Amino acid sequence: MILLDTHILIWWSLRSKRLSESQFQKLDSWSASNKLLISIISIWEVEMLDRKKKIQLGENFGKWTSKVTHSDILQVIPLSRELILAQRTLPENFHPDPADRLIVSTAKLLDLPLVTQDQKIIDSTACKIWSFTD
């Protein structure tokens, strides 16, 4: 099982040029094997970005969400009390972005590798990072 950071979810779902063809192939393969997970916080982040017109989903948010979160595509991890408490295990100097804190805490709590290109998260060494290079 592999947890996706929000930007990876967006880039993958929109077939962004920010990912290489081999990265798309890996994500598609993981999806077909039912190995992809996201935090519900990623859906919240996408909603905020869409509402502020910082991203172009190509369809309305409701349709995009229904398509992306279909159980044949990936699994969504809900918020829980344990997840909120897991944030207390992050390093003291971990940056304060609430979404990143919850996503990294999810990876730590469930012992999942995180697919991210966020250098702050990578540098923090707060969770396992899936090497997502070509």
pLDDT surpasses 80 at 134: no
Does the 2-124 domain belong in CATH 3.20.20.70? no
- pLDDT at residue 131, as a whole number: 78
What pTM was estimated for this model as a whole? 0.95
* Residues 75-99: tens digit of each pLDDT: 999 999 999 999 999 999 998 999 9
Q: At what angle do helices 61-68 and 40-51 cross, to 10 degrees?
A: 160
* Residues 47-72: tens digit of each pLDDT: 999 999 999 998 899 999 999 999 99
* Residues 26-40: tens digit of each pLDDT: 999 999 999 999 999
Number of H helices, E strands in the chain: 7, 4
Q: What are the extents of the domains in the chain? A: 2-124
What does the pLDDT average to over 7-14? 97
